[in-house]
């Protein structure tokens, strides 16, 4: 946030002006994340929302230090508990990962090692960060699998990923992530690859185990339904920049950025008439223009003005809002038009 709002309470993670560029070896550099700043307070759930390609996953990988080193440039800072994670060397970062900050990924099958048993994959985190012996770690893993709601955990410990259902695999990944009771969990589209019925179960599990236990959560998603159920604060990303930040309640009640209203409008409604068309956002992220030549969303925006195509809007506090609500737009939706057009 460029508006230097004083933090209400202590911050667990402060991301400032994060820039990630891919390139090198003759390829043109591509700026995937372009000056993203946000805060996560202890126990808070923060959503990073946007379409694929908006930079939300890259942001999380940069914070975790998981981007390939070669050809990529990461700038800015990500201060966790007083330490800038981006300045740590590989060894120091390994000590933080899995212990203080953990992560769960989108596709639970490909995210699990196919040739190592579930038990060992959970236990190895405990052995690494809590110095447990293998037998103790396996026993603890059994309890962890039990906590994430895997039935018959003693049997599942010895099984391999291909023997588990999709929901169980994601539960196992959550068990691994929570094994060392991290203070921050990053969930990158954790329900996207799952059946709808399982999605709800996993979200409930996250709510129960993470949110209710006081672990802070960064929820990366394109699904505003997930945001509605889980997040305290929402950051909407477009083209590598945050275009709107507000509390969950504020975003759903008074979305100001045309992109946010577009995301809200593309959710089908049960009470709408069947002949009514879904409000799709025209174009795709591929139509992105860099922020240097105006607003990146302008080519797809129904409210775009002349100025939008020449000058990138700054991120500013919405003067009509009663609480903190920042947005990056020259011509936002009318303040009172709470419902999406």
Partner 1 sequence: MLRFIVRRLLQAVLVMFIVSALLFAWLRSLPGGPVDSLLGERATPASRAALSKQLGMDQPLLVQYWHFLDNMVHGRFGTSTQVQTGADALHIFFQRLPATVELSIVAIVIALATAIPLGYFAAKRHGGLLDTGSVVLSLIGVAVPVFFLAFVLKYVFAIKLGWLPPSGRQSADLDATRVTNFYVLDGLLTREYDASWDAIKHLILPAIALASIPFAVIFRITRASVLEVLHEDYVRTAESKGLTARIIRGRHVLHNAMLPVVTTIGLQVGGLLTGAVLTETVFAYPGLGDALAQAFSQRDYSVLQVLITMAALGYVLVNLLVDIAYAIIDPRIRTR
Catalog residues that contact partner 1 under the rule CB under 8 A.
64, 66, 93-99, 102-103, 105, 107, 110-117, 120, 124-125, 128-129, 159-160, 162-163, 173, 176
The CA–CA distances, whole Å, from 293 to 30, 92, 260, 271, 302 equal 15, 39, 21, 40, 18
Q: How far is the CB of 8 from partner 1 (least distance, A)?
A: 30
Give the pair of three-digit tokens for residue 71. Answer: 């050809």
d(CA 160, CA 169): 10
Find all residues with CB under 8 Å of 263, minimum gap 6, and list them: 49, 222, 224, 236, 281
Name the residue nearer to partner 1 (CB basis): 168 or 176. 176
Name the residue nearer to partner 1 (CB basis): 184 or 242. 184
Let me know the angle formed at the C-alpha of 55 by 101 and 177, rounded to the nearest 5 degrees. Answer: 20
DSSP H or E run through 61:
helix 56-64
Name the residue nearer to partner 1 (CB basis): 33 or 173. 173
Q: How many residues comprise the chain?
A: 341
Q: How far is the CB of 57 from partner 1 (least distance, A)?
A: 11
Q: How far is the CB of 303 from partner 1 (least distance, A)?
A: 39
d(CA 102, CA 98): 5
Name the residue nearer to partner 1 (CB basis): 182 or 262. 182
Q: How far is the CB of 184 from partner 1 (least distance, A)?
A: 12
Q: How far is the CB of 98 from partner 1 (least distance, A)?
A: 3
Q: Please, what sign has the CA dihedral across residues 319, 320, 322, 326?
A: negative
The CA–CA distances, whole Å, from 257 to 17, 306, 326 equal 21, 17, 10
Q: How far is the CB of 164 from partner 1 (least distance, A)?
A: 12
Query: Other C-beta atoms within 10 Å of 196: how many?
Result: 7
Name the residue nearer to partner 1 (CB basis): 113 or 320. 113
Q: How far is the CB of 35 from partner 1 (least distance, A)?
A: 25
Name the residue nearer to partner 1 (CB basis): 102 or 231. 102
**Strands 101-104, 184-188: parallel, antiparallel or unpaired by DSSP?**
parallel
Name the residue nearer to partner 1 (CB basis): 71 or 214. 71
């Amino acid at each position: 946030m460029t508006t230097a709002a004083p933090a209400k309470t202590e911050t667990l993670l402060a991301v400032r002006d994060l820039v990630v560029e891919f390139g090198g070896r003759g390829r043109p550099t591509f700026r995937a994340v372009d000056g993203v700043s946000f805060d996560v307070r202890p126990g808070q759930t923060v959503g990073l929302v946007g379409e694929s390609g908006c930079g939300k996953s890259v942001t999380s990988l940069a914070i975790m230090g998981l981007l390939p080193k070669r050809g990529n440039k990461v700038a800015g800072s990500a201060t966790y508990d007083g330490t800038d994670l981006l300045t740590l060397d590989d060894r120091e970062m390994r000590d933080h990962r899995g212990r203080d900050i953990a992560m769960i990924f989108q596709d639970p099958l490909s995210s699990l090692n196919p040739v190592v048993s579930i038990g060992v994959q959970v236990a190895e985190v405990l052995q690494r960060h809590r110095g447990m012996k293998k037998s103790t770690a396996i026993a603890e893993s059994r309890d962890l699998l039990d906590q994430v709601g895997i039935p018959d955990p003693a049997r599942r410990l010895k099984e391999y990923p291909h023997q588990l259902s999709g929901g169980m695999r994601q539960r196992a990944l959550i068990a691994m992530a929570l094994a060392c009771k991290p203070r921050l969990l990053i969930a990158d589209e954790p329900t996207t690859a799952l059946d709808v019925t399982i999605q709800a179960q996993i979200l409930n599990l996250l709510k129960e185990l993470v949110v209710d236990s006081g672990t802070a959560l960064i929820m990366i998603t394109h699904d505003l339904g997930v945001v509605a159920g889980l997040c305290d604060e929402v950051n909407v990303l477009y083209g590598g920049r945050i275009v709107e930040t507000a509390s969950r309640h504020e975003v759903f009640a008074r979305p100001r950025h045309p992109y946010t209203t577009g995301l809200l409008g593309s959710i089908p409604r049960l009470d709408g008439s069947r002949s009514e068309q879904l409000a799709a956002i025209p174009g795709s992220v591929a139509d992105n223009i860099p922020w240097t030549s105006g607003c990146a969303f302008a080519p797809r925006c129904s409210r775009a003005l002349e100025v939008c195509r020449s000058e990138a809007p700054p991120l500013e506090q919405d003067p009509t809002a009663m609480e903190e609500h920042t947005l990056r737009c020259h011509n936002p939706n009318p303040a009172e038009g709470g419902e999406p057009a």
